[in-house]
Every structure is written in structure tokens, then in C-alpha cells.
Amino acid sequence: MPGIDLHTHSTASDGTLAPTELIQAAKDADLEAIALTDHDTTGGLKEAAAAADVAGVEFIPGCELSVVSQNGNMHILGYWIPIGPSKLSETLRFLRDRRHERNHLIMAKLKVLGMDISYDDVLAMSGGDAVGRPHIAQVMHAKGYVRELSDAFKDYLGSEGKAYVPKEKLGPRRAIELLKSVGATVVLAHPFLLGLKGADLRGVLKQLKEFGLDGIEAIYTLHRPDQTRLYLDIARDMDFLVTGGSDFHGAVKPNVRLGSGFGELFVPASLLSTMKEHRVKLGLPV
Ligand code: AMP
Ligand code: ZN
Ligand code: FE
Ligand code: FE
């Protein structure tokens, strides 16, 4: 049975493979379809779509937005988003501008702590336009300010770190409505991040469904089998689409493989067929 991967990142955000390389990797892994879901940018989609055409891999243009709610942080995936300019790309540009401001604030804090990092170095570390903490961490590591990349987050850039600066985020309602307004199919990424189960989880999902959420990413690299089962049960009970993906980032997360996660992950192509049927029923293009 063919497999797919609906959650991946490229150099347009914080992955290490260029969009064309990502598509080649999907082909090498025998994946039938792949979605590119970079954080806060559509910058890699055009290249990926063209490469997928050549390689004969089905491609779904996507993105991943971080949102903040009373229930903490969540990530929202949008599928079949416009590749060109749209209301979505305008909002993504706003979010990326806030990222640049935040990056400068982080670097100012690092400077007080004795770390001299130039923004040119950070930009050079990033292949794309959603520049953020992973790129700052890589410069810190390259300059020998931290032993391991994870120390950069633990000691400085993470929410408990000495140079932490929060990121501008949309609320879940705005993010979902924005994605729906451009014709996207909208999915809650890696629901384990909410740290909820039972009635609490169902309550949050009920609200997200009222905002327009179409599905949940039940199949995900970091989900334990009991979590996957729980999310599949909830999707069936609450009439959500089910999606799945590895959250592949390339060499910055070397133990997460495209299509197969830690090795056990498998996302059946039938999930994509169901998503497409759902879109056709709504009169949306696939
Ligand atoms: P940003 O969007 O700038 O806030 O950075 C978020 C990204 O940083 C995430 O998508 C991860 O790829 C990465 N990240 C967050 N926490 C860690 C960590 N503890 N170790 C390594 N990478 C991390
Ligand atoms: Zn990422
Ligand atoms: Fe995520
Ligand atoms: Fe992701």
C-alpha cells in the first residue's frame, strides 16, 4: 500500500532540504503524495509544485501556523492553499515582519549575555523567509557559544531561556477563518501538544470545529499508539477528517525520516482520497 506524508518543512522555513530536494526525497522514499507545510510562508510552494510535476509525485500546497489560545499553543495546518498572492500571503507577510522584529530583540538579549551575532549570519543560516529561533540557534552553535543546538533552546531561546522573546501569533479562530477564506482544508497539527484528553480535549475540538476546523492529524511521529487510537476515535465520533505526517525537517531533526518518522510511521494514501472527496463535496478544487 502506498504511503504519503502531509507534514513537512523545507528551507523556506526551518527545514534543511530545498523544496526540489524534498520532492526528490519523497520520490526516493516511494511516497505517492507529499504536502509542504512550512511555518508562516508559502515561499517554497511554487518550486515544490514544479518539482513534483516532473517527479510524478502528487503535491498538496500547505502551511503551518502557530496559534495561541486559552489552551496554550497549537499548530494549525492548511492544505490546498493558494501558491500566489492572497489574503493568506498578506497575513503571513505580517507575521514574518513580526518575526524579524522579534529576532532583533532576541539578538539584543544575547548581546547583553556576551554573544555577538550579526543578522546577516542568521539570514545566511536560513534559506527562506520565515526566519526564527532555529536559525539563531544554528549561528550560536557555529560560533561555539553553545555545545549542542538543544542547549541554545534550553538555556537561551526556549520559553524558560535567558533570551526568550514570545512570537506574535494569531488566535485559533482568526487562523482557521483566514485559511478557510482562501479555500483551504484546515487541520489541527499534532494534537498531543495540547496535553488534553477526554472531555477537555473534545470540548476544545468542538470549539475549533465551530470555527471551521476540518480535521485532526491523528497520525504523527511523536504520538504514542494509545494517543493515535484516541485521536482516531475522536475523529470518528466528531466527524473530523484524519491526516498524518512526519514533521520532517531534514538534518536539524535527523532522527525524523520523511514518510516514516522514527521508522514506524505510516500514513495511508486513502486518507488523502478522503480529504479530496470532502473537498469535492464542498465544491473546492483538488
Ligand atoms: P520559532 O518559529 O522561531 O519560534 O521557532 C520554532 C522552531 O524552533 C520549531 O519549529 C522547532 O523547529 C524549533 N525548536 C523549538 N524548540 C526546540 C528545541 N528545544 N530544540 C530544537 N529545536 C527547537
Ligand atoms: Zn519547524
Ligand atoms: Fe508543529
Ligand atoms: Fe511542523
**123, 133, 139, best to mutate for ligand 1 pocket (most atoms within 8 Å of CB):** 133
Q: Which residue among 133, 157, 181 closes a domain? A: 157
pLDDT at position 2: 85
- Is residue 205 domain-shared with residue 261, that is, in the same domain? yes
* Ion ligand 3 neighbours, Cβ < 5 Å: 75, 189
Q: CB-based burial of residue 30 (10 Å sphere; 0-12 exposed, 13-18 middle, 19+ buried)? A: exposed
* CA–CA gap between residue 122 and residue 106 (Å, rounded): 12
Task: Determine phi and psi for 262, rounding to 5 degrees.
Answer: -75, 0
- Is residue 142 domain-shared with residue 98, that is, in the same domain? yes
- Is residue 137 domain-shared with residue 209, that is, in the same domain? no
Q: Which ligand is nearest to the CA of 247?
A: 4
- Is residue 151 domain-shared with residue 268, that is, in the same domain? no
In a domain, 182, yes or no: yes
In a domain, 257, yes or no: yes
pLDDT at position 1: 74
pLDDT at position 128: 83
**122, 153, 155, 167, best to mutate for ligand 1 pocket (most atoms within 8 Å of CB):** 153
How many domains does the structure of the chain reveal?
A: 2
Q: pLDDT (tens digit, 0 to 9) for every residue of the chain, 286 residues total? A: 789 999 999 999 999 999 999 999 999 999 999 999 999 999 999 999 999 999 999 999 999 999 999 888 999 999 999 999 999 999 999 999 999 999 999 999 999 999 999 999 999 999 888 999 999 999 999 999 999 999 999 999 999 999 999 999 999 999 999 999 999 999 999 999 999 999 999 999 999 999 999 999 999 999 999 999 999 999 999 999 999 999 999 998 999 999 999 999 999 999 999 999 999 999 999 9
In a domain, 120, yes or no: yes
Q: Which three cell numbers stand for residue 172?
A: 485559533
Asked if 286 and 276 touch (Cβ cutoff 8 Å), the reply is yes
* CA–CA gap between residue 63 and residue 267 (Å, rounded): 18
Q: Which residue among 110, 130, 157 closes a domain? A: 157
- Is residue 186 domain-shared with residue 260, that is, in the same domain? yes
Ligand 3 centroid vs 72 CA: distance in angstroms?
A: 13
pLDDT at position 216: 98
Three-state SS at 59? strand
Q: Which ligand is nearest to the CA of 254?
A: 1
In a domain, 149, yes or no: yes
Site residues for ligand 1, CB cut-off 6 Å: 14, 39, 132-134, 149-150, 153, 158, 167
Nearest-CA residue for atom 11 of ligand 1: 134
Ligand 3 centroid vs 75 CA: distance in angstroms?
A: 5
pLDDT at position 45: 98
- Is residue 189 domain-shared with residue 98, that is, in the same domain? no
- Is residue 191 domain-shared with residue 82, that is, in the same domain? yes
The greatest distance separating any two alpha carbons of the chain, rounded to the nearest whole angstrom, comes to: 58
In a domain, 47, yes or no: yes
- Is residue 112 domain-shared with residue 220, that is, in the same domain? no
pLDDT at position 260: 98
- Is residue 175 domain-shared with residue 43, that is, in the same domain? yes
Domain range for residue 52? 4-86+169-281
In a domain, 163, yes or no: no
- Is residue 70 domain-shared with residue 204, that is, in the same domain? yes
Nearest atom, ligand 1, residue 154 CA = 19
In a domain, 162, yes or no: no
Q: Which residue among 118, 135, 157 closes a domain? A: 157
Here the CATH number for the domain that contains residue 102 is 1.10.150.650
- Is residue 129 domain-shared with residue 176, that is, in the same domain? no
Here the CATH number for the domain that contains residue 175 is 3.20.20.140
pTM of the model as a whole: 0.94
In a domain, 210, yes or no: yes
- Is residue 109 domain-shared with residue 177, that is, in the same domain? no
